[in-house]
Structure 1
Amino acid sequence: MAEPAARHILVCDDDVVQRELLHEMLKRLGYSCDMAVNGREAMKRLRQDRYDLLITDIFMAEMDGIELARELRGLKPDLPVIAVTGGYGGVLKPYAHFMTVMGARAVLRKPFTRDELAGALSRALEGPVQAEDSGKDPA
Structure 2
Amino acid sequence: MFRILLAEDDDVMREYLTRALERAGYLVSAVDRGTTALALIESERFDLLLTDIVMPEMDGIELAQRASDLVPDMRVMFITGFAAVTLRAGRAMPQARVLSKPFHLRELVAEVDRLFELETVPSRQ
TM-score range, shorter chain: 0.7 to 0.9
C-alpha separation in 2, matches of 1:99 and 1:84: 14
Unpaired segments of 5 or more residues in structure 2?
A: 119-125
Query: Percent sequence identity over matched residues?
Result: 40
Higher relative contact order (CA 8 A, sep 6+): 2
Tell me the CA shift for residue 126 of structure 1.
3.3
Of 40, 43, 47, the residue aligned with 1:48 is 43
Of 101, 104, 117, the residue aligned with 1:126 is 117
Tell me, yes or no, if structure 1 residue 78 matches structure 2 residue 73.
Answer: yes
Tell me the CA shift for residue 15 of structure 1.
0.9
- Partners of 1:36 and 1:42 within 8 A in 2: yes
Tell me the CA shift for residue 35 of structure 1.
1.0
Query: Number of paired residues?
Result: 118
- 1:111 matched to which residue of 2? 102
Comparing 26-35 with 115-124, greater Cα deviation is found at 115-124
Unpaired segments of 5 or more residues in structure 1?
A: 1-5, 128-139
Matching residue's letter, 1:97: G
Change in CA separation of 1:94 and 1:20 when aligned onto 2, cut-off 3 Å: same
Matching residue's letter, 1:115: R
Q: Where do 1:57-76 residues align within 5 Å?
A: 57-76=52-71
Matching residue's letter, 1:122: D
1:61-99 CA distance string (max 9 Å, x none): 100011011101210011001100111xx5234224235
Change in CA separation of 1:41 and 1:79 when aligned onto 2, cut-off 3 Å: same
Runs of 4+ in 1 over 4 A off after TM superposition: none
Of 2, 10, 14, the residue aligned with 1:7 is 2
**TM-score, scaled relative to structure 1:** 0.77
Cα RMSD (Å): 1.6
**TM-score, scaled relative to structure 2:** 0.85
C-alpha separation in 2, matches of 1:14 and 1:93: 17
1:32-72 CA distance string (max 9 Å, x none): 10111111100100111111111000111100011011101
- Partners of 1:58 and 1:64 within 8 A in 2: yes
Matching residue's letter, 1:7: F
